Amino acid sequence: MKTNVTIFGLGLIGGSLGLALKRNDAVHVIGFDRSYATADEAYRRGIIDSIAPSAQAAAEQADFIIFATPVNTTVALMQEATTWKLKKEVILTDTGSTKMPIMEASSLLNEQGLTFIGGHPMTGSHKSGVSAAKEHLFENAYYILTPFEGTDEGKVKQLQRLLAPTKGKIVVIDAHEHDRMTAIVSHFPHIIASSLVGRLADQQEEQPFVKHLAAGGFRDLTRIASADPTMWRDVTIQNRTELLKQLDGWLEEMGHIREMLLTNDPEEIFDFYAQAKAFRDALPTTSQGAVQGAIYMTFDLHIDIPDHPGIISEITKILADERISLTNIRIVETRTDVYGILVISFQTADDRERARVALMKETEFSMHII
């Protein structure tokens, strides 16, 4: 007998979950999306096994329910779910990047004797929608679970077994701790990146050439500012309390830096950069076997190449011969703070490593992973 898993929301995350869970032949994936065109595409691509005619019908058949929808939509669906006739032993979970609003909303389900366990797969892509879904999206990424205190451990283990085919690194933590940590390493950096871009935009009128200089390291540094503004509006509102704490600490740090500049002590300035470098260099990297972190990563290979005709086609031929797919390739014109004239992006860390090995074997180029 198959396990019925219902996925609400068939975008990038929901679609990718469908593909990953279907690695287990004992799982039957039921899909529901407000857009029938999206649900139909998911069915045609084999992401789901069947399309539910309504949200209620999708839920009432399920042994597991996954809300792969924006946080506000998930909260609304959970309120609606209190009127559905669900299986007594059903386990409900979500994929939202902020957990406290969802955990608070799920208390109504708990009052009915149902089991809700918060979830957050910490991964993503530069693309969105069901067309971007891929079954390996969660591999080697943290998949956080946030059960309530006192939740039956057997239920948590059931959900962990269901999610095992994603090949994510499943970690169980407190929901409040999750929101605090994601504020530090994901949500607040998005605010900083957006503010840096804002500073550039404000000064471009007087310094119009500055945007050309920003094409190198500045563009890479602020890459996350290109994320979906609707999603990040919602994340900012939902994790407001933790973000305010981070902002207060940032403003205090900026005050110290301002004093450092006013004092203009070379030793103090050196220590500021040296300490930051030492801590940053000690952070784990995917090339060292670390798990993908909270912010979506591109797997970039920086290559120092000579400037002569045909050099890029030579590189792409080597990669094609090894059947290594790349997602982007670009020449960096401003390189004071990056390594290499050419940057090639790959889908996974494994693809990047295979490319590095193949290029080292066939060329004498210098390559760096930052």
Specify which residues 292 forms β-bridges with: 141
Please tell me whether residue 53 adopts helix, strand or coil conformation: coil
Categorize the per-residue pLDDT at 125 as very low, low, confident or very high, splitting at 50, 70 and 90: low
CATH number of 299-368: 3.30.70.260
Q: Above pLDDT 90, what percent of the chain?
A: 56
Phi/psi of residue 369, nearest 5 degrees: -115, 120
Categorize the per-residue pLDDT at 210 as very low, low, confident or very high, splitting at 50, 70 and 90: confident
CATH class name, domain 3-173: alpha beta
336 pLDDT exceeds 60? no
Specify the pLDDT at position 164: 96
Specify the pLDDT at position 335: 44
Based on the number of CB atoms within 10 Å of its own CB, is 189 exposed (0-12), middle (13-18) or buried (19 or more)? middle
Contact between 116 and 140 (Cβ < 8 Å):
no
If we measure between CA atoms, which residue out of 111, 37, 21, 29 comes closest to residue 63?
29
If we measure between CA atoms, which residue out of 155, 159, 152, 177 comes closest to residue 98?
177
Q: Find the range with the poorest average confidence among 63-72, 92-101, 202-211, 289-298.
A: 289-298
Phi/psi of residue 62, nearest 5 degrees: -85, 140
Q: Average pLDDT of 172-182?
A: 95
Residues in CB range of 40: below 8 A, 6 or more apart: 51
Calpha distance 134→102 (Å, rounded): 26
| pLDDT tens digits for range 1-54 | 899 999 999 999 999 999 999 999 999 999 999 999 999 999 999 999 999 999
Instruction: Rounding to the nearest 10 degrees, give the CA dihedral for residues 335, 337, 342, 345.
Output: -150
Specify which residues 329 forms β-bridges with: 344
**Which residue stretches of 296-348 are H helix?**
311-321
Residues present in the chain in total: 370
Higher-scoring residue by pLDDT: 181, 212: 181
Q: Average pLDDT of 93-120?
A: 93
Contact between 138 and 111 (Cβ < 8 Å):
no
Q: Domain ranges for the chain, please list them.
A: 3-173, 178-288, 299-368
Q: Highest-confidence range of 139-143, 221-225, 244-248, by mean pLDDT?
A: 244-248
If we measure between CA atoms, which residue out of 68, 64, 70, 29 comes closest to residue 48?
29
**Mean pLDDT over each residue of the chain, to the nearest integer:** 87
Does the pTM exceed 0.85?
Answer: no
* DSSP letter, residue 348: S
CATH number of 178-288: 1.10.3660.10
Specify the pLDDT at position 110: 86
289 pLDDT exceeds 60? no
Q: Which amino acid is at 14?
A: G
Contact between 171 and 120 (Cβ < 8 Å):
no
Specify the pLDDT at position 221: 81
Residues in CB range of 124: below 8 A, 6 or more apart: 12, 13, 296
Q: Average pLDDT of 167-196?
A: 94
